[in-house]
Amino acid sequence: MSIDTMTIRRLPKPSEVEEVPVEFRSEVEDSGTRIWDQINKLLRTFLHNSGFPQPSADPIQQSYEEMERPSLVVVATGIAVQADEYEERYGSIDLEYYREHMSPEMFKAFVRHIGSIKGRTDLNIGEFVDALEV
Partner 1 sequence: MRYVAWVQGLDIDEPVYLDASILVGSLIRKHPLYGKCANLIGKLLADKVEIMLSMVTVDESIWIMAKLAYFEIYNQPWDAHWNPGIYARRREKIFQSHESWINSVRKAVEDWTNAGAKIDVVPKTRELFKDVLDLIPVYMKDVKLTPADAIHLALAQKHARSFLTADSDFDEVRQNPPAGDLVVVKLTA
Applying CB under 8 A, the residues found at the interface with partner 1 are 88-89, 92-94, 97-98, 101-103, 105-106, 108-110, 112-134
Rounded Cα distance, 116 and 86, in Å: 10
Q: Are the CB atoms for 72 and 81 separated by under 8 Å?
A: yes
* SS3 assignment, position 34: helix
Task: Return the DSSP state at 122.
Answer: T
CB of 119 to partner 1, least distance (A): 4
Q: Tell me the sheet residues that pair with 31.
A: none
Task: Return the DSSP state at 51.
Answer: T
CB of 66 to partner 1, least distance (A): 22
Rounded Cα distance, 117 and 10, in Å: 51
Of residues 52 and 128, the one with the C-beta less far from partner 1: 128
Of residues 56 and 92, the one with the C-beta less far from partner 1: 92
* SS3 assignment, position 14: coil
Of residues 9 and 120, the one with the C-beta less far from partner 1: 120
CB of 99 to partner 1, least distance (A): 10
CB of 87 to partner 1, least distance (A): 10
CB of 123 to partner 1, least distance (A): 5
Of residues 44 and 89, the one with the C-beta less far from partner 1: 89
Of residues 68 and 127, the one with the C-beta less far from partner 1: 127
φ, ψ of residue 26 to 5 degrees: the values are: -100, 160
